[in-house]
Amino acid sequence: MKINFHENRLVGLLLTFIGGMLDSYTYIHYGAFASAQTGNLILAIIGVYDHNWESVGKKLLSTAFFFIGIMLAKFMIDYFNHKKFHFWRLFLLYIQALIFFILSFNAIQLHPSIVTIIIAFTAAIQWTSFDKINGLAYTNLFTTGNLKGLASNFYDYLKTKDKQFRERSIHFLSVVTVFILGVVVSVYLYHLYGRHMIISVAILFLFLAVSQTFLIIRFFREARRF
């Protein structure tokens, strides 16, 4: 393939859309962020001063499992690269669809700490495993770094008129815009369906996994003709 499937623009933007949904969902429903661990640590420290130990524990656990998720993702990248198994991220998308489908069950939803930990863990794996669009770095879970990339490249374009900086500005602008759209849609769906809106995340992961499966199958079929 011209690029790895996980660097495809559709994949990156849809994962960014999901990232916006997850952060807004976990904060609205559980009072913790799925991926913005800076916010979780600040809220945990505030919770210590307020003696809100349940909130402190929930946020620290979220941060701990986010950390573990990054390490696991790094291990998988090294392991599957060594094994020359290049499409392992496709199976990761199917697993995420299954996880978020399970998280929609009422029995699981009754345990907010568990849900928050699982979302933080899977979000960290997603962030580390999918970190480029067409070779350009981006972040699909939060938008601070993307805003910096947008501002920096837009400034450089205004200064030099170099098309390379313009393309990078458009790249980061699209990522920031899609993240915001994910937050807006998540808030809207939450007001309609409450905690059950998490099933929409499972559907998006499944759509992404199935669509990329068909593209990969078509690629291999066409490759056999040559």
Report pTM: 0.87
Q: Is residue 95 predicted with pLDDT exceeding 90?
A: yes
Closest CA to 97 of 186, 196, 17, 200: 200
Mean pLDDT of 152-164: 94
Tell me, what's the pLDDT at 226? Answer: 60
CB neighbour list of residue 14: distance below 8 Å, 6 or more residues apart: 204, 207, 208
Contact between 119 and 186 (Cβ < 8 Å): no
Check if the beta carbon of residue 25 is closer than 8 Å to that of residue 197: yes
Domain boundaries, the chain: 5-223
- Predicted pLDDT of residue 5: 72
pLDDT tens column, 64-78: 888 999 999 999 999
Q: In the predicted model, what is the mean pLDDT of the chain?
A: 87
**Helices and strands (DSSP H and E) totals, the chain:** 9, 2
Task: Using pLDDT thresholds of 50, 70 and 90, give the confidence band for residue 203.
Answer: very high
The predicted-structure confidence for 122-132, as pLDDT tens digits, reads as follows 989 999 999 88
Q: What percent of the chain has pLDDT over 90?
A: 45
What's the pLDDT tens digit per position in 166-180? 999 999 999 999 999
d(CA 89, CA 139): 16
Average pLDDT over residues 197-201: 92
Q: 29-43: per-residue pLDDT in tens?
A: 777 666 777 777 887
Q: Among 34-48, 56-70, 143-157, 178-192, name the one with the lowest average pLDDT.
A: 34-48
